[in-house]
Amino acid sequence: MPHLPHRVVITAFPGVELLDVTGPAEVFSVATRVGGGGRPGYRVRIATSAGGPVTTAGGVRLLSDLRLDEVGDEVDTLLVAGAVEVRGDQVVPVLDEEVAGWLRGAAARPARVGSTCAGAHLLAAAGALDGLSATTHWRTAPHLAAAHPRVTVDPDPIFIRAGRVWTCAGITSGMDMALAMVAEDHGPDLALATARMMVMYVKRSGGQSQFSVPLAVPAETGDRIGDLRLWIGEHLTADLSAEALAARLHLSVRHFNRVFRARTGTTPAAYVEAARLEAARRLLQEGDRPLPEVAGASGLGSVESLHRAFRRRLGTTPAEYRRRFR
């Protein structure tokens, strides 16, 4: 009896980011070819609201395989591609209403749902991320957090898995997420062979940071929060509690927390931990300093705190991180 392929549908719309669609599709395609006839492999189809061709953000045209209303229930993995627009110094997600409307009913059906880059905003608009942790491109993460308070937005990881729902960061990270899906479906050996064939990093952990924390939200002229973030990065061993930071800006703690979250899309405590964790990662990657020194220099304080932060945010240990990424 022949093996049935894993059925993948990737949604697209006019102006979609090309690599949001083709990056994961190529990973699944290469995995199928590398795996050979002894594995079920993947069958990838592109779905759009009207069918036919769509022009991507870069001007390249994609030809869809079916309309959204033709997708039906025979989908194992549904991936939602996204797009962003640059408006002056702002980067905002594109919200295609037809795709978002279709997702309100369709996203609940497949065994696995994922988004690439700003596609997370479409899943959130459909209610599919409510109550879950999610990530997206770091430039649009504040938009996601502000528009969807029921979603726990973490702008740091390359991808996040929350049960059956996966979200990933900027454009190329969709390929890392797809590799992780291949590993889940067929084991690490096929994922490794696929990565080698594609000359990709063998396994870029979902916990690896997608950006430099101090640059996550660019500072604006006269932006007190932006100035504070830069100060935090230069004083990681100082008292960085919400009370101390609020006092530095002469604000009440409650008002400071509200302003900080509105500006950055995260809480002061989460931001401080991310900044300290980035410093710890950098120290682990660049040298052989013992863990107590790394913990102290990064502001995390103790080896126990260092381990807790790595386990909670990266899903690994400091020693494993050093071995993998150095």
Overall pTM > 0.85: no
| Averaged pLDDT in 10-residue chunks for the chain of 326 residues | 81 97 97 87 96 95 96 94 91 95 95 96 97 92 93 86 92 90 89 86 51 47 79 92 95 94 88 90 86 95 92 84 73
- pLDDT of 217 reads 47
- pLDDT of 48 reads 97
CATH superfamily of 6-197: Class I glutamine amidotransferase (GATase) domain (3.40.50.880)
Q: Quickly name the fold that domain 213-325 has.
A: Arc Repressor Mutant, subunit A (1.10.10)
Residue partners of 187: CB distance under 8 A and separation at least 6: none
* Topology agreement, domain 6-197 and domain 213-325: no
- pLDDT of 204 reads 52
- pLDDT of 315 reads 76
Domain chopping of the chain, boundaries: 6-197, 213-325
C-alpha 90/C-alpha 222 separation (Å) is 17
- pLDDT of 215 reads 42
Q: Where are the alpha helices (DSSP H) in the chain?
A: 18-35, 97-106, 119-125, 141-147, 173-186, 188-197, 224-234, 242-248, 253-264, 268-286, 291-298, 303-314, 318-325
Question: Exposed e or buried b for every residue in 32-54, given b needs 16+ CB within 10 A?
Answer: bebbeeebbbbbbebbbbebeeb
DSSP character string of 134-155: E---TTTHHHHHHH-TTSEE-S
Strand 6-11, strand 90-93: pairing = unpaired
C-alpha 277/C-alpha 298 separation (Å) is 7
- pLDDT of 278 reads 86
Strand 90-93, strand 84-87: pairing = antiparallel
